[in-house]
Amino acid sequence: MRRIKSVCPRDCPDSCFLTVTVEDERVASVKGDGDHPLTQGFTCPRGASDPERVYSPERVLYPHARDRDAQSFKRVTWDEALTLVSLRLREVIDEQGPGAVLHLDYAGNTGLLSYDFFRRLWNAIGATGHDSSICSSSGHAALALHYGLSYGLQPEELPGMRAVTFWGFNPVVSAPHIWRLAQRAREENGASIITVDPRLSESARSGGLWLNPRPGSDVALAYGIARCLIEAEAVDLAFIEEWTQGFDAYRDEAMRWTPERVEELTAVEWGRIEALAALYAESSPSAFMIGLGLQKSLYGAEAVRAVSLIPALLGLHRGFYYSNSRGRFVDYEYVSGEKLTGANRDIVSQVSLGKLLDAGRFGFVYVNGMNPAVTLPEQGAVRRGLAREDVFVVVHDTHWTETTRLADVVLPAPTYLEKDDLVVADSHPYVRRSVGVVEPLGESRDEVSVMLDLARGLGVEEGWVYEDPWEALTRAFEGAFEDGAVGDLAGGATLRLRSKPRDSYQTPTERVEFYPESAIKIGASPLPVQLPLNRSGDDYVFLTSALPRYTHSQFRDVHGPIPSTVWLSAQDAGRLGFGDGDIIEIHNYYGSLLAKAKVTPRTPPGVLWSPRLFTDLRGEPQNTVFPPETQAIGGGPLFNSTLVRIGRGYSRPPP
């Protein structure tokens, strides 16, 4: 039996440090390390299920090519697969130009080699790329307006807080180690835990104070809190004077949010808002944990802006946490080749890719580490687009997915437990090598080796594509660590990344800008804006978020399908004549879904909630009903502001 230290590379804020047990050259268990300030000795259910995921019957173990006539895949050799891919790639580049090649990747493995370095090939040939807008970009853009870069406090500071607010953030499910640190603040420091979420989320249910504004009304709520702080003279005027810009305009706007207006929009009683503001006034320091769920809606970026300004009123330097990915000294653009290429590349919206795919914009699509045929909005268009006869689709994945099934060539990838990589967390600053603990299963081959073969096959001449990957990382991390260099990680050491100071603001005035003029340039208002809630009586806001055992579309092979249930309030169920367990149809312009109703007090009237990314009772992907439109700030998706109606009910599943 061997115990090997590694790091989880999933798209998850916690980026756990792991100890993996290997028995008879098989992964036997994955456990969280006790000596890491965030991991705290435990993994989530997904980490713990990794041995099953590694040996799942759904693993892609060999290259496959699709026989379009027989509508089936046949096993081929790597040579055959890569020759096929290179030939088609060359043909599309020659006939349609490199812009007709799309490289699409996302959250499967955030390792710098599996993800960033692999992009060098596509940067070198000038393929079309995407703007990575599906997850967090609107929040980053929102924070950039007021703070410059979007980094905030370190999660390991949480135990010292007197109040921790999770706003549109459900860490019990989505970041269990961050949640644990907040619990320590409560246990050790008597801190108050506050959750702001329209529904009684797992986090809201786990104790503390819960405020449930209407979805999309967070800007009004934040201004309400600001008004209370101003009226109670609880605003830190000395801090505002020294460190901020534009407060007068902001204060005037906050004072326009009368209790009546705030209550009308948010449906939260003014007394509760006053009480929360009073709590903030007497609880210092306090932390505002801004969720990614908050910003995945039409109102998202504006909400992040509004929430992020509350800690500045309280005199806290960046008293929020969103993601610390932008506060480091790592040269990601060097790793990905973005700054090395001379090619002029097109960058398209990841959120609205469906339209482009469907319209035949690309002749060649290469996907790795993503399952777009489940996770992107406007699934109808995405799936039609990927299935087009005139587009050649290559998918490199560890497992068979809805996307591999639409591919022309499927390439087997090793999981993170079968290859070495470097993972930089979005939250904490600690880095150690993510280590392959067993040999790659089957004929699976890692991203870097596939890239090199493709580059050679295509005759790519840029020398930097062939740079030794660890040397590239060494360069990209020059000066990035407090206590060493990439080479030091080889022996299993842990290093700490330097972080930009909390009292440094990269705005034009180098202050926290309450009223950023830079907003005008991007067509936004200098002050956060509460957009109108355009919901008519028959509309329901359809919220979706994660379950503990699944990462997006992953782990269905281990835990079975994601339950196709829709939660609705007893009031709505009663009005529409539905009972618990009835089959209901929800629909909008984009499509419809059939799912089992769960009548629950945990969602308010007018709001539906479902586990994210289920397949409905007819086999339709959930994201059929989500629109391809993007937010004005940051281009993010509109998942949590999507409206649906409830259609005909079925007392039993349709035939």
Residues in touch with ligand MGD (CB under 6 A): 11-12, 106-109, 114, 134-135, 167-170, 173-174, 196-199, 201, 215-216, 218, 291-294, 296-297, 368-372, 375, 396-399, 401, 413, 415-416, 543-546, 548, 550-554, 612-613, 622-623, 626, 639-640
DSSP string over 162-173: SEEEEES--HHH
Contact status: 12 vs ligand SF4 (CB under 6 A)? yes
Place of tokens 């009004």: 220
Count the site residues for ligand SF4 by CB under 6 A: 11
Residue 175 CB, shortest distance to ligand SF4, in Å, is 7
Q: Should residue 631 be labelled a site residue for ligand SF4 when binding is judged by CB under 6 A?
A: no
Task: Report if residue 628 touches ligand SF4, rule: CB under 6 A.
Answer: no
> At its nearest, how many Å lie between ligand SF4 and the CB of residue 274?
36
323 binds, among Mo ion, ligand MGD, ligand SF4, none (CB under 5 to 8 A by kind): none
- Tokens 């997006």 belong to 552
**Judged by CB, which is closer to Mo ion: 135, or 613?**
135
Per partner kind, with CB cut-offs from 5 to 8 A, the member of ligand SF4, ligand MGD, Mo ion, none near residue 43 is ligand SF4
* Footprint (CB under 6 A) of ligand SF4, residues 38-67: 43-44, 46-47
Site for ligand SF4 (CB under 6 A): which residue of 6, 14, 396, 420? 14
Q: Check binding of 109 to ligand SF4 (CB under 6 A).
A: no
What is the CA 334 to chain-centroid distance, rounded?
23
Q: Report the 3 state secondary structure along 525-590.
A: CCCCCCCCCCCCCCCEEEEEECCCCCECCECHHHHCCCCCEEEECHHHHHHHCCCCCCEEEEEECC
> What mask, x for binding ligand SF4 by CB under 6 A, covers residues 175 to 204?
-x----------------------------
d(CA 99, CA 343): 10
Looking at the Cβ atoms of 19 and 371, the one nearer to ligand MGD is 371
Which positions ≥6 away from 326 have C-beta within 8 Å? Answer: 140, 149, 150, 151
Of residues 12 and 65, the one with the C-beta less far from ligand SF4:
12
| Binding test (CB under 6 A) with ligand SF4, winner from 6, 10, 513, 628 | 10
- Which of residues 292 and 437 has its CB atom nearest to ligand MGD in the complex? 292
**Bridge-partner residues for 597, per DSSP?**
566
3-state DSSP of 260-285: HHHHHHHCCCHHHHHHHHHHHHHCCC
> What's the min distance (Å) between Cβ of 46 and ligand SF4?
5
The span from the CA of 74 to the CA of 156, in Å, is 50
The residue to which tokens 């089959």 are assigned: 583
Residues 6+ apart with CB under 8 A from 528: 219, 222, 223, 302, 303, 305, 306, 309
The listed partner (Mo ion, ligand MGD, ligand SF4, none) that binds 16, CB under 5 to 8 Å by sort, is ligand SF4
Pick what 197 binds: ligand MGD, ligand SF4, Mo ion, none; C-beta below 5 to 8 Å, kind-dependent: ligand MGD
Tokens of 117: 């370095």
285 cis-preceded (ω within 30 degrees of 0): yes
- In angstroms, the CA 28 to CA 52 distance is 9
Least separation in angstroms between residue 362's CB and ligand MGD is 18
Contacts of 454 (CB under 8 A, 6+ apart): 82, 85, 86, 89, 121
301 binds, among Mo ion, ligand MGD, ligand SF4, none (CB under 5 to 8 A by kind): none
Which residues are 567's β-sheet partners?
598, 609
Q: How far is CA 298 from CA 87, 159, 289, 630, in A?
A: 42, 33, 20, 8
Tell me, what amino acid is at 87? Answer: L
Write down the least CB distance from residue 396 to ligand MGD, Å: 4
- The two beta strands, 565-568 and 591-599, are parallel
What is the nearest approach in angstroms of ligand MGD to the Cβ of residue 6?
13
47 binds, among Mo ion, ligand SF4, ligand MGD, none (CB under 5 to 8 A by kind): ligand SF4
Tally helices (H) and strands (E) across the chain: 24, 28
The residue number with the shortest CB distance to ligand SF4 is 47
Residue 242: CB partners within 8 Å, gap ≥ 6? Answer: none
Amino acid at 346: D
Assess 411 for contact with ligand SF4 (CB under 6 A).
no
Q: Which does 106 bind (CB under 5 to 8 A by kind): Mo ion, ligand SF4, ligand MGD, none?
A: ligand MGD
Least Å from the CB of residue 545 to ligand MGD: 3
DSSP state of 527: S
Nearer to ligand SF4, 27 or 44 (CB): 44
**Minimal distance, residue 36 CB to ligand SF4, in Å:** 10
- Does residue 171 belong to the site contacting ligand SF4 (CB under 6 A)? no
DSSP state of 59: B
Give the one residue of 15, 154, 217, 403 binding ligand SF4; rule: CB under 6 A.
15
Q: How far apart, in whole angstroms, are the C-alpha atoms of residue 416 and residue 419? A: 6
Handedness of CA 516, 212, 140, 300 (dihedral sign): negative
Interface residues toward Mo ion, by CB under 5 A: 135
Q: Which residue has the tokens 């040939």?
A: 125
Compute the least distance from the CB of residue 547 to ligand SF4, in Å: 13
What is the SS3 assignment for 300? Answer: helix
User: Of 564 and 622, which has the nearer Cβ to ligand MGD?
Assistant: 622
What is the binding site for ligand SF4 (CB under 6 A)? 8, 10, 12, 14-16, 43-44, 46-47, 176
